[in-house]
Amino acid sequence: MVGCSCPVCLSDDPRNTRFRTHIHLEIGDLNIQVDAAPEFRIQAVRHSIPKVDLIFLTHGHADHILGMDDMRRYCDMRNGGAIPIYTTEEGEERMRAIFGYAIRDKPVVRGYPAFSLKQMPEELDLDEAYVCSTMQNHGNFETLGLVFEEKRTGAQIAYYTDCASVSEEAEALAKGVDVAILDGLRYNSHPSHMTIDEAVEAAGRIGARQTYLVHMTHDIDHASAEKALPDGVRFAYDNLVLEV
């Protein structure tokens, strides 16, 4: 955290050095980006992400959207074709406000990004996967919760970040998934994020084979705090790679 000298911020444990929250999915030949944090370029280079076929934007807050401009290279690799972004009405408004120059079928010139904005439906049928969505309470507005299912294997991942709770609808949608990724900000209450305890309780109701908590603040020391988590629940960390 900027200007902080707490034990977590000064920790040598790399799991306590946290970029803003986003994930990348590879499902068959499909490369999917969910949100694009300001550090997206760093992670794309570090993990050699070969392409981005489409993007899901959960909401338009700065920590989830400001890496979008770095998609320009992936537009070049699509011969200048716009990358589809599935999002909410709020997410679309924020994209137009921040990246108005890039909301078009083709980049203005080579090397610029281009995005095609689409409202996320409840169910989306892709070549390699099904994607279901639900709306989540994030304080004074709603964010997009997503469940991905690979057609070939049936493997499922639920991604519920930036939410104050997991609704009954969201719980039913994610019930028994292989991996659940849940918002878990800190121990103290927050008006728009789940606490660690609330996330653990939601994990129990969902019943995923494995649950990872994301979006933690510097209140959370990875090594010591993870010891208190129940079986099947862990803290995620930067550069974590999962195979489902």
Fold that domain 122-244 belongs to in CATH: Metallo-beta-lactamase; Chain A (3.60.15)
Give percent above pLDDT 90 in the chain: 99
User: pLDDT tens-digit profile of 89-101?
Assistant: 999 999 999 999 9
What is residue 80's predicted lDDT score, i.e. its pLDDT? Answer: 85
Domain boundaries, the chain: 19-120, 122-244
Average pLDDT value for residue range 46-62:
98
Distance CA 4, CA 67 (A): 24
Q: What does pTM read for this prediction?
A: 0.96
Beta strands in 43-119 (DSSP E): 54-56, 83-87, 115-119
- Candidate CATH numbers 3.30.70.330, 3.60.15.10, 2.60.40.730, 3.50.30.30; the one for domain 19-120: 3.60.15.10
- Mean of pLDDT over the chain: 97
Give percent above pLDDT 70 in the chain: 100
Residue 171, pLDDT above cutoff 90: yes
What is residue 206's predicted lDDT score, i.e. its pLDDT? Answer: 98
Average pLDDT value for residue range 11-37:
97
What is residue 204's predicted lDDT score, i.e. its pLDDT? Answer: 98
Average pLDDT value for residue range 28-54:
97
What is residue 107's predicted lDDT score, i.e. its pLDDT? Answer: 93
Average pLDDT value for residue range 1-22:
96
- For the chain, helix, strand, coil in percent to 5 are 25, 25, 50
Residue 134, pLDDT above cutoff 90: yes
Confirm whether 19-120 and 122-244 share one CATH topology.
Answer: yes
Residue 140, pLDDT above cutoff 90: yes
Distance CA 121, CA 141 (A): 18
Report residue 221's pLDDT band, with 50, 70 and 90 as the boundaries. very high
Distance CA 39, CA 100 (A): 21
Q: How many CA atoms lie within 13 A of 235 on its CB side?
A: 28
What is residue 170's predicted lDDT score, i.e. its pLDDT? Answer: 98
Beta bridge mates, 130: 125, 149
Distance CA 103, CA 90 (A): 15
Q: Which amino acid is at 198?
A: E
Average pLDDT value for residue range 11-39:
97
Average pLDDT value for residue range 212-220:
97
Q: Which amino acid is at 201?
A: E
